[in-house]
Amino acid sequence: MANHGNRSRVPSTQQVGKSARKRKALRTLGPALVVEDDGLVAMDIAEALQEAGAEPVVICASVAEAMVQLEIAVPSLLVLDVHLADRDDGWALAELAIQLGESPPLIVFTTATPSSIPASAADLGHVLAKPFQTEALIALIEKERPAGLFGRIRHALSGQ
C-alpha cells in the first residue's frame, strides 16, 4: 500500500529502472508519465506501472517538469496528482496532453481532495482518491485501456 502521508520531494525528473519483482505483462501499457511531488508515492506508482507493463515510466515532481516531458512525447498513460508544489491546478496538464498527442492518453487523477477537481477537469479522466493501494490503480488502468486488435476481434466475434 502506498504511504501518502510522507511529503518527501523527488528532486528532478527521473526514469524508473526495471523492478526486480516485475511480473510478466500480457500487453504493454506503453509509456507512462507520473506527475507526483511525493517521492515515495511516485516511486510506488512507477514500480506498479512497470510491473503492469508500462515502459518507460517517467516521474516528474512538478508541472514545470511535466510540461518539458510533454514537449518530448505524450505518454499513453498519465497519472497526475492535481495539487503539486508548483501549481494547484495539475489538471491543466491533462488538458495539454489531450491537445498535444495524436491520441489522448489514459488519464488518472490522484488526490486526497477529489471534490476540489472541477467537474470539467474530472471528465478528462478518472479520479482516484488518496490514499489508495497501487493495485486499485492498476485495476482501473486494466479496465480502461484499449483491448488491442485481438481483443477487439474476439469481442466482435463473441457478439457482445
- pLDDT of 81 reads 94
Q: Which DSSP helix (H) or strand (E) runs through 15?
A: strand 14-15
Please tell me what DSSP assigns to residue 124. Answer: T
Domains identified in the chain and CATH numbers: 14-158 (3.40.50.2300)
Angle between helices 39-51 and 134-144 (to 10 degrees): 50
pTM over 0.85: no
pLDDT tens digits, one per residue of 133-144? 999 999 999 888
* 61 contact partners, CB below 8 Å, separation of at least 6: 9, 10, 11, 12, 13, 35, 36, 37, 39, 42, 84, 85
Comparing 70 with 1, which gets the higher pLDDT? Answer: 70
Question: Taking Cα atoms as reference points, which of 39, 96, 44, 87 lies closest to residue 62?
Answer: 87
Q: Report the C-alpha gap between 2 and 135 in whole angstroms.
A: 10
Burial of 76 (0-12, 13-18, 19+ CB in 10 A): buried
Q: Provide the pLDDT for residue 106.
A: 95
Q: What is the CB neighbour count within 10 angstroms for residue 3? A: 10
